Amino acid sequence: MSLKKRTVTLDGGQIATAEDVYEAFADQLGLPGYFGRNLDALWDLLAVDVQGPLEIVWKDAELSRKKLGGQFDLFVALLCDVEAERQDICVRIC
């Protein structure tokens, strides 16, 4: 039995802070209130806890890059590392 692929969409027009990124994941994946909302917690969630298949799409990413600055690069690096770690997670930055 194959599982249906879920998609998490990060909308660059709505992502202006790191908290916005964490909130998008929490809302779309139905995470509990105790989700840590930091890079380590996001790594643990995506690398281990979330069941795949999962597609993560960051639309209008350039808008978020301008607002997040260096934090944007940290998020993208983490997402790319997760994609390299797991065959059932696909990341698209567009």
Whole-structure pTM value? 0.93
Contact between residue 16 and residue 67 where contact means Cβ atoms under 8 Å apart: yes
Give the residue with greater pLDDT, 3 vs 30: 30
pLDDT at 86 over 70: yes
State the Cα–Cα distance between residues 29 and 26, nearest whole angstrom. 5
Instruction: Quickly tell me which residue has 């990413």 as its tokens.
Output: 61
Q: Which domains does the chain show, CATH number per domain?
A: 6-93 (3.30.370.10)
- Segment 40-71, tens digit of pLDDT: 999 999 999 999 999 999 999 999 999 999 99
